[in-house]
């Protein structure tokens, strides 16, 4: 399961164009990684695609940090 | 210029005069086209006339589930959706003093809410592919108003405000959002007017004739093209000079 964290971080690095070292579990997408609100929507779409899951809007709103994303995916991912 | 080869378009209200011309215009420029509407026979006839690269997905714009299904099926039929033409619309004319809640609600539901829902459903794929064209057919009366059409004018004005907001949200993703606002166009809807009624209307049109559906289609083709990538949040008025805004 640990590779889920790696895959999430890879997507964040690619999508937001940030350094891998910045993508810590506690990093907030908007405040710390420079994402805008549309970026967060696109990240959710990318996570859905990568992990074959659906992230409902109310869950997506709660995903504010890299750790939030990893946590949600770990408890919902099939692959 | 204005080559749409390899692009995939969805046109709502394609069984109508303007919608049919728009579908033809996009198809002529090389796009694959999905025709939507409620009158399946008319859609099938248009599909037969256009030939290859054409699909039909009937849907009701007052039904949220149907709208989501339309977006999905159009994308599935063409493999993607690059160009969305929101053309479907209805009228329930009445002077405001006599306008029933149902007449107001129905027009807002189909023309404004339905259009928003379909556009939202289409956005996801456009964002992912970093390309999209949303072109919404509004009306001159959305800007000038028209007695007897408070509901229709409100919905059409709403579409302009909606499009300007979406244009700002989506511009950084290569998606443009624009409106085309026809004036009086020769369609089955205007064919029923008497000669006297037409005379009164034409007195307000400097070009002194009704517009042709193909003249609306030409504006849509332009806005759909890659050449129009820098045009967003705009309303293109095609009205023979009837209103200069």
Q: How far apart are CA B220 and CA A54, in angstroms?
A: 35
* Stated pTM of the model: 0.91
ipTM above 0.85, yes or no: no
Q: What is the pLDDT of residue B192?
A: 80
Query: Annotated catalytic residue: which of B152, B180, B182, B187?
Result: B152
Q: How many domains does chain A fold into?
A: 1
Q: Is A42 on the interface with B (CB under 8 A)?
A: yes
DSSP type of residue A29: T
User: How far does the CA of residue A44 sit from the closest CA of chain B (Å)?
Assistant: 11
B124 interface with A at CB cutoff 8 Å: yes
How big is the A-B interface in CB pairs under 8 Å? 11
Structural domain boundaries, residue A15 = 2-76
Comparing CA positions, the residue from A30, A62, B133 lying closest to residue A71 is A62
Catalytic residue status for B230: no
Strand order in the sheet with B132-137: B54-56, B32-35, B8-11, B83-86, B132-137, B175-182, B235-238
In chain B, what are the domains? Answer: 8-236 (3.40.50.720)
Contacts A38 to B, Cβ<8 Å: 127, 169-170, 172-173
Yes or no, beta carbons of B172 and A38 under 8 Å apart: yes
Residue-level pLDDT at B100: 97
How close does chain A come to B89, measured CA to CA in Å? Answer: 29
Confidence (pLDDT) at B162:
98
Round to the nearest angstrom and report the end-to-end CA distance of chain A: 9
| B75-119 per-position pLDDT tens digit | 999 999 999 999 999 999 999 999 999 999 999 999 999 999 999
Question: Could you give the CA distance from residue B142 to residue B189 in angstroms, rounded to a whole number?
Answer: 18
Please identify every residue of A annotated as catalytic. Answer: 36
Q: Report the CATH number at residue A64.
A: 1.10.1200.10
**A48: pLDDT confidence band, cut at 50, 70 and 90?**
very high
């Amino acid at each position: 399961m640990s590779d889920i964290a790696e895959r999430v971080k890879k997507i964040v690095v690619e999508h937001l164009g940030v350094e891998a070292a910045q993508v810590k579990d506690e990093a907030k997408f908007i405040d710390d990684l420079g994402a805008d609100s549309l970026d967060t929507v696109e990240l959710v779409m990318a996570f859905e695609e990568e992990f074959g899951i659906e992230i409902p809007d109310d869950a997506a709103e709660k995903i504010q940090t890299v750790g939030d994303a990893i946590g949600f995916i770990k408890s919902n991912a099939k692959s | 210029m204005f080559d749409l080869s390899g692009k995939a378009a969805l046109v709502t209200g394609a069984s109508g005069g303007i919608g049919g011309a728009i579908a033809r215009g996009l198809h002529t420029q090389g796009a694959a086209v999905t025709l939507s509407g409620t009158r399946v026979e008319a859609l099938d006839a248009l599909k037969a006339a256009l030939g290859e690269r054409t699909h039909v997905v009937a849907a009701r714009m007052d039904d949220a589930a149907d709208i989501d299904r339309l977006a999905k099926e159009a994308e599935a039929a063409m493999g993607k959706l690059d160009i969305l033409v929101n053309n479907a619309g209805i009228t329930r004319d009445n002077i405001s003093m006599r306008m029933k809640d149902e007449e107001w609600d129905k027009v807002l539901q189909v023309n404004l809410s339905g259009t928003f829902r379909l556009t939202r459903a289409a956005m996801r794929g456009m964002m992912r592919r970093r390309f999209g064209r949303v072109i919404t057919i509004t009306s001159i009366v959305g800007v000038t108003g028209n007695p007897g059409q408070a509901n229709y004018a409100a919905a059409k004005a709403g579409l302009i405000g909606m499009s300007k907001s979406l244009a700002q949200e989506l511009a950084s993703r290569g998606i443009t959002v624009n409106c085309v606002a026809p004036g009086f166009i020769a369609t089955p809807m205007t064919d029923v007017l008497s000669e006297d009624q037409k005379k009164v209307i034409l007195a307000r049109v400097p070009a002194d004739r009704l517009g042709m559906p193909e003249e609306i289609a030409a504006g849509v083709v332009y806005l759909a093209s890659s050449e129009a990538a820098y045009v967003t949040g705009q309303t293109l008025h095609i009205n023979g000079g009837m209103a200069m805004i």
